[in-house]
Amino acid sequence: MSRRSLFKMVKQLNNSSIVLTTHRMDEAEQLCDKIAIMINGSIVCYGSPNYLLNTYGGGYEFTIHNDLRGRNPQQTFDELERKMPGAFTITS
């Protein structure tokens, strides 16, 4: 409830500047006109939510190597699809 109250208050501010810190990108997208992403205390990218989403928002990508511990590769892909609906696989 307090989070929603804070969101409402921040959205109502006009001609103001405020610095927020969060680990949640969805919060930053809702509340901010500009977002800076820091890694180890250094700003590594800065821009509007749309710019950051279009530039870096491709989602997650990971590679599964042949070490499947005796499992059938299709079983692994099926399990990933169950746990991450909407995921897709690219094989090479």
* pTM of the entire predicted model: 0.54
pLDDT score of 79: 80
Asked if 34 and 48 touch (Cβ cutoff 8 Å), the reply is yes
pLDDT score of 35: 92
- Which H or E run includes 27? helix 25-31
- pLDDT, averaged in runs of 10, over the chain (92 residues): 83 84 85 90 91 78 65 76 72 58
